[in-house]
Structure 1
Amino acid sequence: MRSPIADYLSQLHGDLLKLTAGRPYQGIPAMAGADTSKFAIALATVDGHVYKVGDAGLEFSIQSISKPFSYGLALDDQGLAAVDAKIDVEPSGDAFNEISLARETGRPANAMINAGAIATVSLVKDAETPRFARILEQFSLCAGRELHLSETIYASEALTGHRNRALAYLLRSFGIIETDPTPVLEDYFKACSVMVNTEDLAMMAATLANGGTQPSTGVQVMSPEAVQRVLSVMTTCGMYDDAGAWISAVGLPAKSGVGGGLIAVLPGQLGLAVYSPALDAHGSSVRGLAASERISRDMGLHFVRAARIGRSVIRDHYDITQVPSATRHTEDAEKLLADYGHRAHILELAGDLLFAGTESVVREVSELPSTVELVILDLRRVDEIDKIAIRMIGDLNRGLATEGRTLALVQNQLFAPLEEVKFFSNRNDAVEWAETTILLRHGSPELMPQRVAIADFAALAPLSPEDVALLESRMVESEIADAQVIRRVGQEFGGVYFILDGKVVTSTHRGGSPTRHATLSAGMTFGEIALGGEGDQTTRVTALGRVHLKVLSAEAITALEAEHPELALRFWKAIARDAYTRVEAYLKDSGHPLR
C-alpha cells in the first residue's frame, strides 16, 4: 500500500510548485542559470527510510550546507575547546558573507557564516590524508554514498570569491588561520562545490538526527558531542539573519545553501531536505522555506512540540494465531483460523504518538503483504495522540479501505476525529471480530452455526446416536435472559450445560474487577469442570444475549450412573476428553493473557 506520508509529500510538492518567487544565486556564474522549475523534497528517518518526491535525484552543489559537516569534523579533530578558541558560537544577525569578526580577537561569530566556515576548514587536520579528501569523505559517509567535486562550480567559485579571499586574509592577520590562507580557501571552495542530491542531504541531516551515526550504513561518522554542538549552532545561526523567524515558525536546527538546498533536523527522529534554486533575499530557497514551515506545522515537528522523542514505538507485532480470542470455536473453525490467521495482524503501540512514532507505524502497515486483510492497532498504552497522528491514522484507514482491507483500533477511549475507524475497547473483542471476519470470508456458514442440535455437539462425538438420544431424553431445556448469571463461583456441581444457541461469558472477579476467560457459543458446553460431585464452580457464567440451553443435571447424571453405568462411563470419558482439549489449548496460549 502507498504510504499516506508519501501522498502528503506529493500533495505538498504540487501545491508549492505554484510558488514562483525568487531567483537563482547570481554570485557564482556557473549557478546563475539554474532551472527554477526543479523542486524536490526528501524526508529520512533515523532508521534509514527515505520518503522523496520531485527531482530528488537531481544533483546540485552543496554550498553552505557543507558548513555543519565540516564543523563537526573540525570538532572531532581538535576538540571543543580548541575550536572555540578560534570560532565563537554567537548569532551574528548578519548575512552569510558579512565580515563578522570580533574586534579584539578576530574570532568569527559562528561556524555557519563564511568567515567561520573558512576558519573551520583551517582546523580540519591536513597531514596523512589531504584536508579536502577528508572533508569529502566526511560528506560521503554522512550521505551513505560516494560524492564528488564539481570542477566547474569550483572554478566559478574561485574566479568570483573575492570577498571570501578578503575574509581569509583577515583571519590570517588575527592568527585565526595560522598558515597560508590560500590552500585553506581552496579547500573551502571545494567543500562548497561538492555535488549532492536531495536524498543525499536528507540522509546527511538524518545522520545528525541520529547522533552522528549514518542511518543506513551504521557508521559513526561524527561523535555525539560534536553533533550536539553542531545542532546547537545550527539552531541559532544556521539561517543567518533570518534565524529568529525560522526558529519561531519551523523550530528545527537548519542550514540553507545558495545552491538551492536546505536541511532541517529533528533530533532523534528525522532529517528533512528540500531543493529549489530560486532564493529569497536572505539566500534561502523560497520553496524550501515554505515546504519546511508547512511540514513542521502539519506534522508537529517544532522542537517545543516534539521534545518527547523515542517513546512512541511499536512494542510488538504479531498475527492473531498467537493471541486467539476467548471465544471457543468448532474444531473445523480452529483449523481454518490456523491456516488463515496470518491475514489479521496486531501492532501494540506505547508512548506518545507524535510524527516519528506514527510514521513508523504507518510504514510498518504500508509494507505488510497484500494477504494481510485486517490490521489492529492496540493503542491502550499510548500516552498521547497528536493531531498529526490522528490525521495519519485516518489516512491509513482510508488507504487500506481502497484495497479492501480494514483497520481497527483498540483503546479505552476513542478520539472523536477517529470515529470513522472501527473501534474496540479491549483486545479480545478485536481478535474475536477478526476471527469472525476470517471465518465468514474464507470458510462456510457451517463453521459458525447459530443453532446446534445435541446430536451434533463435538463433546458427544465419541458416543453412538443411541447413547446421545438417551442422554438428551434426560436433559432439561431452558431459556436464559440477557445478562442473567447462570452459574456462580463456589456453587456445587450442577450438571453439564449444552448451548443450543446464543452465547455465554465465563469470568472471575479479583480485586473487584472482572477477568474474562472465554466466550462460549452454540455447540459448546460448560459446568463440566466440577463434574464428579465434589468439585465447585470456578468461574461465573453469564448470558451474553438470550441463550437457549439443555442441561444434564447433577441428579440426572447420578441416576444415569446407577441405571446405565457403562453409558455414564462413556459419557464421562467424552466430556473429559473435550475438557482436556480446551485446557490444553488455554495453556498453550497462556503466554498471551487476555487483557
Structure 2
Amino acid sequence: MNKQSLLWSAKGIFIAAFLSVNTITYAQKGAENKIITEKSLESILEKNRTYYIEGKVADYIPELGKMDAKAIAFSVVAKNGKIFNSGDVHKKFTMQSISKIIALMIAVNERGEADVFNKMGYFGTDRPFNHFSNLETTGKPLNPMMNAGAILTTSLILGNGEKPFLKILDMVRYITKNPTLDYSKSVYESEKSTGHRNRGMFYLMKNNGLISGNEDQLDNYFRQCSIELTAEDLAKIGYFFANQCVRFDGDATYKNKELARLVQSQMLIAGMYEFSGEYARTVGLPSKSGVGGGIAVSVPGKMGIGVFSPALDQHGNSSAGYHMILDFVKQYDLSLF
C-alpha cells in the first residue's frame, strides 16, 4: 500500500471512530434524559400541584369530604420493582373504584371469563360511573368498571358473608406486599348509609336474575371501596397488571398473561369512566381511577404508576393526578400509541 493510500485509510478509520464515539455519546445522553428519578417525579408533582383548585373533593360520601384537597402524591414502580416516590406518599386514602380491577381478577379466576361476561358487557360508555346505563332495557351492566357491573362482579366471587370481601382485601395485601392494609370502618358506614343509588342497581339486577343473594353482597362492595392504601400501593397494583400478574418483587404466584390483558383492556376502555376515550387519546395507558382521589396506571410490560390528589374533575377523576400522569407519559414517551 502506498503512502497516499495509507493516509486515506487512516482518515477513514478516524472518521468512523469519530462518528461511532459521537453516536454512542448521543445515545447515552438520550438515555440519561429518560432515566426516572425521584427528582423528575418531584418536578412533575410541583408543576401540577395547583390543579386541585380546579377540582372538588367528593362529598356525596360524607367521610370522603373530609380529605385534605391539597394532599398530593406520586409513585412509580419501574423495571425490576424499583420504587420512586414524591409528595405525600404515606398519606392513606380509600381505593373506591380502583378495587374493581381486583374484584374482576378474582371473579374471573374463580368462574372463568365466559361466565362473568355472560352477565355483563365489554363495552365502554359515555355515561358517569354511577349511571344505570342499560339495566332497565337489556338488564345487563355495560362493563365491570361502572358501579352496576362492579357490584355484580363482587357478587360473583364465591363465598358467603364477608368472604368475597376478604378475598379482595387479601389480594390487595398480596399485590402490595403490605399485610397491614385494612378498610376504613367510618368510610364503609358512610358509603352504606348513603349508597341508595347503588342499592337501586343491586335490586334491579336481582330483579333481572343476575344476582340471587342478599344485601351482604352489596355490603362487600361498600367494604372493598373503603380499603385504605397509598399512592405507592397503587403503583404496585399498576405494575402487577402491567407485568402479567407478577408482583413487583418477582413473585409469580398468580402469573396469568391473559387475565392481565383482560383487566388492562377494561381499564383502557372504561377505567376513567366517560373520560376514557379522551384519556386514551391523551395518556394512552390502561388506568383506573377512584373517587378517593387515586389513579392506578399500568404501562404494559414496563411499570406501574400511582397518583393521589382528592380534588376531582367533573368526571370523578383526580384533577392534579391526571395532569401528573399526562406530563410523565409525555416526558418518558409511554403511550401505547
Q: TM-score range by the shorter chain?
A: 0.7 to 0.9
Which residue of 1 is the match for residue 41 of structure 2? 9
* Structure 2: 5+ residue stretches without partners: 1-34
Report matched runs for 1:417-496 at 5 Å: none
Letter aligned with residue 288 of structure 2 = K
Which residue of 2 is the match for residue 191 of structure 1? 224
The 1:253–1:71 alpha-carbon spacing in structure 2 relative to 1, beyond 3 Å, is same
- Between the aligned partners of 2:135 and 2:199, the Cα distance in structure 1 is 18
- Between the aligned partners of 1:176 and 1:140, the Cα distance in structure 2 is 29
Letter aligned with residue 199 of structure 2 = R
Tell me the secondary structure at the aligned position of residue 148 of structure 1. Answer: coil
Percent identity over paired residues = 33
Pairing partner for 2:113 from 53, 77, 80: 80
Q: Is the 8 A contact 1:73 1:222 kept in 2?
A: no
> Which has a greater percent of strand?
1
Q: Is the 8 A contact 2:242 2:303 kept in 1?
A: yes
Which residue of 1 is the match for residue 299 of structure 2? 266
Report matched runs for 1:493-504 at 5 Å: none
The 1:16–1:129 alpha-carbon spacing in structure 2 relative to 1, beyond 3 Å, is closer
* Structure 1: 5+ residue stretches without partners: 305-595
Over residues 246-272 of structure 1, what are the superposed CA-to-partner deviations in whole Å (9 max), with x where a residue is unaligned?
000000001110000011111100011
Query: Offset of 1:101 from its aligned partner?
Result: 2.8
- Between the aligned partners of 2:198 and 2:136, the Cα distance in structure 1 is 19
Which residue of 1 is the match for residue 150 of structure 2? 117
The 1:218–1:64 alpha-carbon spacing in structure 2 relative to 1, beyond 3 Å, is same
Tell me the secondary structure at the aligned position of residue 282 of structure 1. Answer: coil
Q: Is the 8 A contact 1:141 1:219 kept in 2?
A: no
Report matched runs for 1:8-47 at 5 Å: 8-19=40-51, 20-47=53-80
Say what the alpha-carbon RMSD is for the aligned residues: 1.6
Which residue of 2 is the match for residue 154 of structure 1? 188
- Between the aligned partners of 2:319 and 2:223, the Cα distance in structure 1 is 25
User: Larger C-alpha radius of gyration, 1 or 2?
Assistant: 1
- Between the aligned partners of 2:291 and 2:197, the Cα distance in structure 1 is 16
Over residues 123-182 of structure 1, what are the superposed CA-to-partner deviations in whole Å (9 max), with x where a residue is unaligned?
1111598111111111111111121011011010001000000000001011111222x0
Which residue of 2 is the match for residue 167 of structure 1? 201
- Between the aligned partners of 2:201 and 2:73, the Cα distance in structure 1 is 33
Letter aligned with residue 200 of structure 1 = D
Tell me the secondary structure at the aligned position of residue 205 of structure 2. Answer: helix
The 1:129–1:119 alpha-carbon spacing in structure 2 relative to 1, beyond 3 Å, is closer
Which residue of 1 is the match for residue 282 of structure 2? 249
The 1:4–1:214 alpha-carbon spacing in structure 2 relative to 1, beyond 3 Å, is closer
- Between the aligned partners of 2:173 and 2:336, the Cα distance in structure 1 is 28
Tell me the secondary structure at the aligned position of residue 149 of structure 1. Answer: coil
Letter aligned with residue 269 of structure 1 = K
Pairing partner for 2:85 from 49, 52, 58: 52
Q: Is the 8 A contact 1:46 1:209 kept in 2?
A: no
The 1:155–1:8 alpha-carbon spacing in structure 2 relative to 1, beyond 3 Å, is same
Q: Is the 8 A contact 1:41 1:198 kept in 2?
A: yes
Q: Is the 8 A contact 1:74 1:83 kept in 2?
A: yes
Letter aligned with residue 186 of structure 2 = T
Which residue of 1 is the match for residue 259 of structure 2? 226
Over residues 191-240 of structure 1, what are the superposed CA-to-partner deviations in whole Å (9 max), with x where a residue is unaligned?
00000101011001100111001122514336322211111111111111
Letter aligned with residue 278 of structure 1 = A
Which residue of 2 is the match for residue 208 of structure 1? 241
Asked which structure has the greater RCO (Cα within 8 Å, sep 6+), the reply is: 2
Aligned residues: 301
Query: Offset of 1:87 from its aligned partner?
Result: 1.6
> Which has a greater percent of helix?
2
Q: Is the 8 A contact 2:162 2:216 kept in 1?
A: no
